[in-house]
Amino acid sequence: MSNSLGRNDLRDGKDMSKAAGAYSLAEILSQPECWSSCLTSLRQSGTLEKVCDFFGDAEEWLFIGCGSSYYVGLCAAASVSALTGLRARAVPASEVLLYPELVLAAARKCVPVLISRSGQTSEVLKAAELLRARSVPTLAISCAEGQALHRLASLAITLPAADEKSTVMTRSFSSMLVTLQYLAAMLAENPLHTKSSSKISDASAPVLRTLPDRVRDFVASHQFADYVCLGQGPYYGLACEYALKVTEMSVSYAQAFHTLEFRHGPKSIVAPETLLIFLLSEQGCEAESAVLGEMKSLGGTTLVVTNHADQGVRDAADMLVELAIDSPELMRLAPSLVPGQLLGLYTGLKKGLDPDTPRHLSRAVILDDKPAKKPEHAAL
């Protein structure tokens, strides 16, 4: 299977239902419209107002998920802290289950937010049960209605428009993130960020017009052995998600680091066949750009995602994605996801895989907790 699938194939109305990666591509490109649809539905239902009323006196927000949902939590926690000034953090659901005394020890008026696209993820459900047994009110967010997670949580946010046919999370990730950021802006009573969240769909559309073909051509013209995804602050969660998308959709080896941490040992792997992906922030741009220049001088191949690039960044980038979105930086996290999703998609197609249905994966990790049958021994 070639990686020729492009945006024009969808626009021209071709029947792409049986083409490898077709669902993933359509879901990636549908994200701006999906964000708008989700926020409109939530405003009409008053769901977020109910959440603000119920949890308005919280002193801490704790985001709990698995895999991509955990990375949603990392980005959401950074957003809540920045916008509200409250303590916020994210942990994998397994940490709540195995080390509850560490996760919950210092929690005061804490709001656990349970994140699961399907509402069926076993470890998230177990975390919800544990918290319920301790009489801790919880908030759930998912993309499927009527699931067990909703029944275990005190309140639930559901985004059915964001669900996917493909196995890998793309628009569900970004839609849950945009929703949680909008909630954070409401909690902070920050009209600039609520307004920016509402406008991010239109602002993101221009870059999506040409980006799929650019990423496809970049992937086609290079051969990479491994991938390194780098980000600081709110971008670290995105770097983790980039690495996961490349791993899931293309069965490739990818790692994520805080950008400046990459200097401290990991840079030994840098070579032309190593793709280094830099998610440049505004606050740390000078320091992060210095790492970019250093890694380029060591011979690495670089893909840079930023809002606006100076000449130094342009010179050090083998591929440059400039978003050019006029909105606060936090509101640009969701659009910043798209290059990584497309990178995973087209790398998988180049390797002859179907990114819609990666091997060994399912849409939700549902564990069988039934006790193993006791072995029967033959009588001697």
Lowest mean pLDDT among 106-120, 208-222, 244-258, 358-372: 358-372
- Res. 74: pLDDT tops 70: yes
Closest residue by Cα to residue 71 from 163, 213, 162, 173: 173
Residue 371 in tokens: 């006790």
Confidence (pLDDT) at 361:
74
Tell me whether residue 112 is exposed, middle or buried, using C-beta atoms within 10 angstroms of its C-beta: 0 to 12, 13 to 18, 19 or more.
buried
Cα(202)–Cα(198) distance, rounded to whole angstroms?
9
Confidence (pLDDT) at 365:
62
Lowest mean pLDDT among 104-118, 124-138, 358-372: 358-372
CATH pick for 202-350 out of 3.40.50.10490, 3.30.56.10, 3.30.379.10, 3.40.50.300: 3.40.50.10490
Confidence (pLDDT) at 65:
98
- Res. 174: pLDDT tops 50: yes
Backbone angles phi, psi at 273, to 5 degrees: -90, 5
Cα(25)–Cα(91) distance, rounded to whole angstroms?
30
Confidence (pLDDT) at 359:
82
Q: What is the pLDDT of residues 100-125, one digit of tens each?
A: 999 998 667 999 999 999 999 999 99
> Going edge to edge, which strands form the sheet with 87-92?
87-92, 60-65, 110-115, 139-142, 155-158
Cα 22–65–58 angle (5° rounding)? Answer: 130
Query: How much is the mean pLDDT over the chain?
Result: 91
State the pTM of this model.
Answer: 0.91
**Percent of the chain at pLDDT exceeding 70:** 91
158-182: average pLDDT: 97
274-292: average pLDDT: 97
Cα(111)–Cα(17) distance, rounded to whole angstroms?
41
Confidence (pLDDT) at 193:
83
**Percent of the chain at pLDDT exceeding 90:** 82
- Res. 280: pLDDT tops 90: yes
Confidence (pLDDT) at 164:
96
**Residues in CB range of 209: below 8 A, 6 or more apart:** 7
Lowest mean pLDDT among 95-104, 202-211, 355-364: 355-364
Strand partners, 89: 62
Cα(233)–Cα(180) distance, rounded to whole angstroms?
17
Indicate the residue type of 233: G
Lowest mean pLDDT among 4-18, 89-103, 210-224, 225-239: 4-18
Indicate the residue type of 249: M
- Res. 1: pLDDT tops 60: no
Q: Which fold has domain 26-189?
A: Rossmann fold (3.40.50)
Q: What is the pLDDT of residues 10-51, one digit of tens each?
A: 555 555 557 999 999 999 999 999 999 999 999 999 999 999
- In which residue ranges of the chain is CATH 3.40.50.10490 found? 26-189, 202-350
- Res. 378: pLDDT tops 80: no
- Res. 93: pLDDT tops 90: yes
Distance (Å) of CA 96 to CA 87, 92, 343, 347: 18, 7, 32, 35
145-165: average pLDDT: 96
SS (H, E, C) the chain: CCCCCCHHHHHCCCCCCCCCCHHHHHHHHCHHHHHHHHHHHHHHHCHHHHHHHHHCCCCEEEEEECCHHHHHHHHHHHHHHHHHCCEEEEEEHHHHHHCHHHHCCCCCCEEEEEECCCCCCHHHHHHHHHHHHCCCCCEEEECCCCCHHHHHCCEEEECHHHCCCCCCCCHHHHHHHHHHHHHHHHHCCCHHHHHHHHHHHHHHHHHHHHHHHHHHHHHHCCCCCEEEEEECCHHHHHHHHHHHHHHHHHCCCEEEECHHHHHCCHHHHCCCCEEEEEECCCCCHHHHHHHHHHHHHCCCEEEEEECCCCHHHHHHCCEEEECCCCCCHHHHHHHHCHHHHHHHHHHHHHCCCCCCCCCCCCCCCCCCCCCCCCCCCCCC
Confidence (pLDDT) at 370:
56
- Res. 362: pLDDT tops 70: no
369 confidence band (pLDDT: 50, 70, 90)? low
